[in-house]
Homo-oligomer: A and B are copies of this chain.
């Protein structure tokens, strides 16, 4: 029976009280300071002492107390990933999951932890977000809706970190800025959208709709802006912009009536692949052939995009790499004490498949 083969037993606790450095010191017959030195590999010491200490540590199952350490050296070996957005279930968003995966992979071997926090209140200035203001983390990666971050906030920006202050290195994700003091990572959504629009126009599309989800995500606004700009170049326009929840079924519900109301619609540009999936279903239900009658495109190039029918034309956005890079930038800062503030832009790539 499966029940048995899966009867996994898990050891949760050891029944020894948590031992401190003092315990280890006594056990090894040395001073507390020596223990600290061994653990931090700080000074030269006799091999004999070092070994004795290490054995004592093992025998007592000693682990340094991170709070005490954090209190003393004002660092926590923890980074934060903060999403400023009032929506529930924000983590179901696949793009953020890619970013998250990248961050986690970067942190994994360096003994850093990741603190995830959603900030519901759009009006909280970043430096007042709990993990940052309180010094719970050594750095933070922040993303969110642009209005949210922008509303009434002072323009001053800095990423310097002082041991004595609350300054914390920050990387802002997907927030276009011209301020050279802000460390930011964004993808070339605008250019990606431009390329996509050129492609669609090149294939003779003339009546466009744009579907996107809730919130004023800068990346999404850039996608729309690139689309509209390019359309304008050809004296075209995107006459239909619909908003729905960030899930395929919602996109389906939103696009279907659009299709019924506008028989001439021949291009549906979705803000990401998930919504494109819903648009694809809408086209199917409405009896419109893709790509013959109507083109459907996405953004992001999620894993499923090659496997659906028709395979989805999309603009690849490297979420995993962006997350990874963000984490590495902060880690570099934390490790080396300082790094050049940079604004990294990841290229996007138009991937033409069968839906256009």
Residues of A within 8 A of B (CB): 1-3, 5-18, 61, 63-68, 70-71, 74, 76, 78, 88-92, 94, 97-98, 100-101, 104-105, 108-109, 111, 113-118, 120, 125-127, 130-131, 133-136, 142, 146, 149-150, 153-160, 164-168, 170, 172, 175-179, 182, 190, 218, 221-222, 225-226, 229, 247-249, 252, 274, 277-278, 280-281, 284, 303-304, 306-309, 320
Contacts and interface: CB of A to CB of B under 8 A. Distances in A.
Contacts of A150: 8-9
Contacts of A94: 94, 97
Nearest to A74: B67
8 contacts: A6-B177, A8-B149, A12-B126, A12-B159, A13-B166, A66-B135, A66-B136, A308-B309
Contacts of A149: 8, 10
B104 A10 contact: no
Given A12-B158, A12-B159, A91-B104, 14 more contacts: A2-B190, A3-B190, A8-B146, A8-B149, A8-B177, A9-B155, A9-B156, A13-B165, A17-B166, A67-B135, A68-B71, A89-B101, A89-B320, A116-B116
Assembly stoichiometry (copies): 2
Contact of A130 (B91, B111, B118, B248): B111
A2 B176 contact: yes
A117 B156 CA distance: 33
Contacts of A66: 67, 70, 134-136
Given A13-B127, A307-B249, A97 B104 contact: no
Given A225-B2, A308-B308, A113 B116 contact: yes
Nearest to A281: B307
Contacts of A157: 9-12
Nearest to A153: B11
Contacts of A252: 307
A332 to B, nearest CB: 17
Closest CB pairs A-B (n = 4): A2-B225, A67-B70, A9-B155, A91-B101
A297 to B, nearest CB: 16
A158 to B, nearest CB: 5
Contacts of A178: 3, 7
A5 to B, nearest CB: 7
